[in-house]
């Protein structure tokens, strides 16, 4: 492994398993458009990518319809869905190890930053992060690349070669590539091996224990 100084984490599907909250909130938003979801599992592929894009590409909504659905989604998510979420086993151990070894830790998530902070606090892992960045409620950071660039700017990370992005979907790997940093694709989240391999991550890791071993 190369010598890195800064580790950037995705949130959904990388640190936490948010399936229950996200799928229920998407279903809630779709109901407002007269679309009933019989099986919440069918919505799991939408975990990770920017939500507005998912409403446009998966359901064929126009821009304004998709924005309205995102607002409806947030209505339930901010009150309930936020906490229908599970921290993956051994994540605190991983974060403790990274801190012990002197890494700086950052969050780079497509989830709105205000929600991301609440989730980190809920699971009591917020103190591990030097900075936690997310998307903006006004859609001014619509892609994973723009979120990573924002985190780098805020944290004054000037050398991407010292940074490593860790995530479970292709958007994480694309964002890393577009900002010239290496990436770890993790297979315990919501991206398939085929999806991740297609983006040629620097490393591909199966489980959280494997991630701990990787840094040990």
> Hey, which residues are catalytic here?
10
Q: Residue 154: beta bridge partners? A: none
Q: Quickly tell me which residue has 């309205």 as its tokens.
A: 68
Strand 86-87 to 16-17 pairing: antiparallel
Of the CA atoms within 13 Å of residue 48, those in its CB half-sphere come to 24
Nearest to 23 by CA among 4, 1, 51, 3: 51
83 vs 25, 42, 50, 207, 212, CA distance in Å?
12, 21, 19, 23, 26
> How many helices (H) and strands (E) would you count in the chain?
9, 8
Three-state DSSP at 138 gives coil
Q: Residue 184: beta bridge partners? A: 166, 203
């Amino acid at each position: 492994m190369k010598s890195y100084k800064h580790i950037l984490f995705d949130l959904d599907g990388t640190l936490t398993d948010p399936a229950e909250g996200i799928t229920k909130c998407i279903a809630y938003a779709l109901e407002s458009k007269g679309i009933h979801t019989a099986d919440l599992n069918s919505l799991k592929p939408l975990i990770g990518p920017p939500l507005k894009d998912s409403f446009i590409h998966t359901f064929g909504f126009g821009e304004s319809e998709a924005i309205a659905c995102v607002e409806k989604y947030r209505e339930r998510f901010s009150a309930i869905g936020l906490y229908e979420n599970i921290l993956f086993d051994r994540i605190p151990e991983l974060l403790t190890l990274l801190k012990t070894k002197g890494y700086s830790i950052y969050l780079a998530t497509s989830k709105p930053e205000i929600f991301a902070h609440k989730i980190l606090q809920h699971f009591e892992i917020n103190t591990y992060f030097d900075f936690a960045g997310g998307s903006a409620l006004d859609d001014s950071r619509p892609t994973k690349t723009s979120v990573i660039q924002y985190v780098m700017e805020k944290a004054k990370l000037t050398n991407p070669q010292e940074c490593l992005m860790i995530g479970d979907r292709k958007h994480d790997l694309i964002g890393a590539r577009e900002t010239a940093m290496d990436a770890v694709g993790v297979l315990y989240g919501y991206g398939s091996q085929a999806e991740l391999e297609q983006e040629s991550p620097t490393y591909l890791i199966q489980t959280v224990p494997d991630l701990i071993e990787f840094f040990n």
